[in-house]
């Protein structure tokens, strides 16, 4: 092979190589398109609670209310907000502050009535819930209780437990809601034990355990050996006094047996504030919110909104059986429990054995 032929062959190979290198690569099948991550969905619900002056940690009214809100928040997958009030002057500004940050604001306590009326008008596009009073506004859902019915039952327990025939009642502030506890309790005591005397005193507050203890000790000095309180955080002091002086205390709102170091809580009048707050939030979440006085909810024995608990196991089976008979008589209308002092004056005790 001549040098000329070899050169031509080399040139041809170089040209072919050049074209091969320039060839367009075969197209690969298209894979699935990458999805753009969806933006997180904004919470559908927003709600919060404003406490009364008793505040979180009262082991009673406010703690029970927050338990219902916390339950609803967990079920709905949101975080509820909380604002604590240290004085009554906080109520209106706290309601306004909460209403600006959430869609539903819960207020717990009858002392919120005036502040709630003002806030409901000022924030007419927002919804509110209030416990223990009725506010006749279309954007306010109200829940009240038949506290006198549950108090009647613990009155029976007190009347059949006392040895001295002297029993005490410690109220917080002298308002109609607390008078319902007082009247129902005395009616229950008198029905079970006509010979018993009930001493009644008020602390003038819901946030002063020392005052509660002072009043309870004074009643015990007058021979009271069972004392029922409806006084918020003041009741912590009542239970402390029971531990110190070895008498029976009766708790309120929640089962308060754990507050006694010596198991001196005879029973507790249960008021399901947690059910009330949960009910309002669920109605709001389910688009069944109904405001106005005509739609107010009242929870009594039949609705299991009130009752009693025996966390300390201090109520005997025999005593519990008697209490159940009284409960049935209330539910069937045989006994109409007084809820005011005026009704108590005309109440005729009903003895059931």
Check: CB of residue 87 under 8 Å from CB of residue 53.
Answer: yes
Check: CB of residue 54 under 8 Å from CB of residue 60.
Answer: yes
Per residue of the chain (353 residues), give pLDDT as tens.
444 444 444 444 444 444 444 444 444 444 444 555 554 455 578 999 999 998 999 888 999 999 999 999 999 999 999 999 999 999 999 999 999 999 999 999 999 999 999 999 999 999 999 999 999 999 999 999 999 999 999 999 999 999 999 999 999 999 999 999 999 999 999 999 999 999 999 999 999 999 999 999 999 999 999 999 999 999 999 999 999 999 999 999 999 999 999 999 999 999 999 999 999 999 999 999 999 999 999 999 999 999 999 999 999 999 999 999 999 999 999 999 999 999 999 999 999 98
264-303 tens-digit pLDDT? 999 999 999 999 999 999 999 999 999 999 999 999 999 9
For residue 283, give both structure tokens.
């109605």
CA atoms within 13 A on the CB side of 299: 22
Cα separation, 239 vs 258, whole angstroms? 10
Cα separation, 173 vs 80, whole angstroms? 29
Cα separation, 321 vs 180, whole angstroms? 24
Among 55, 113, 104, 112, smallest CA distance to 80 is for 104
- Name the burial class of residue 81, with classes exposed (0-12), middle (13-18) and buried (19+) by CB atoms within 10 angstroms of its CB: middle
For residue 196, give both structure tokens.
């018993």
Look at strands 140-145 and 127-131 and give their pairing. parallel
Tell me the domains of the chain and their CATH numbers.
Answer: 47-146+275-299 (3.40.50.2300), 148-270+307-346 (3.40.50.2300)
Q: What pTM does this model have?
A: 0.83
Q: Across-strand partners of 35?
A: none
């Amino acid at each position: 092979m001549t040098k000329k032929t070899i050169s031509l062959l080399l040139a041809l190979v170089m040209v072919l190589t050049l074209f091969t290198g320039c060839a367009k690569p075969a197209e690969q099948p298209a894979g699935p398109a990458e999805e753009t991550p969806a933006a997180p969905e904004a919470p559908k619900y927003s709600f919060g609670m404003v406490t009364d002056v008793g505040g979180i940690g009262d082991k009673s009214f406010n703690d029970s209310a927050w338990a219902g809100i916390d339950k609803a928040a967990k079920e709905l997958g949101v975080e509820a907000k909380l604002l604590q009030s240290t004085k009554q002057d906080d109520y209106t500004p706290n309601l306004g502050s909460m209403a600006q940050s959430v869609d539903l604001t819960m207020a717990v306590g009858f002392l919120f009535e005036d502040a709630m009326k003002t806030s409901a008008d000022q924030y007419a596009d927002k919804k509110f819930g209030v416990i223990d009073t009725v506010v006749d506004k279309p954007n306010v859902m109200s829940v009240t209780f038949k506290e006198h019915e549950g108090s009647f039952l613990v009155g029976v327990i007190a009347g059949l437990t006392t040895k001295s025939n002297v029993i005490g009642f410690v109220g917080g502030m002298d308002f109609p809601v607390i008078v319902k506890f007082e009247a129902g309790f005395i009616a229950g005591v008198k029905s079970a034990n006509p010979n018993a005397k009930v001493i009644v005193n008020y602390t003038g507050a819901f946030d002063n355990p020392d005052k509660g203890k002072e009043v309870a000790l004074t009643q015990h000095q007058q021979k009271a050996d069972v004392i029922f309180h409806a006084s918020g955080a003041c009741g912590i002091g009542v239970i402390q006094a029971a531990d110190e002086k070895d008498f029976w205390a009766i708790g309120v709102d929640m089962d308060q047996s754990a507050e006694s170091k010596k198991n001196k809580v005879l029973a507790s009048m249960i008021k399901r504030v947690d059910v009330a707050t949960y009910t309002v939030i669920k109605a709001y979440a389910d688009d069944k919110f109904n405001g106005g006085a005509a739609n107010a909810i009242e929870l009594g024995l039949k609705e299991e909104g009130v009752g009693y608990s025996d966390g300390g196991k201090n109520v005997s089976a025999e005593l519990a059986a008697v209490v159940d008979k009284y409960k049935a008589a209330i539910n069937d209308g045989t006994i109409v429990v007084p809820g005011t002092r005026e009704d108590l004056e005309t109440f005729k005790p009903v003895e059931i054995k």
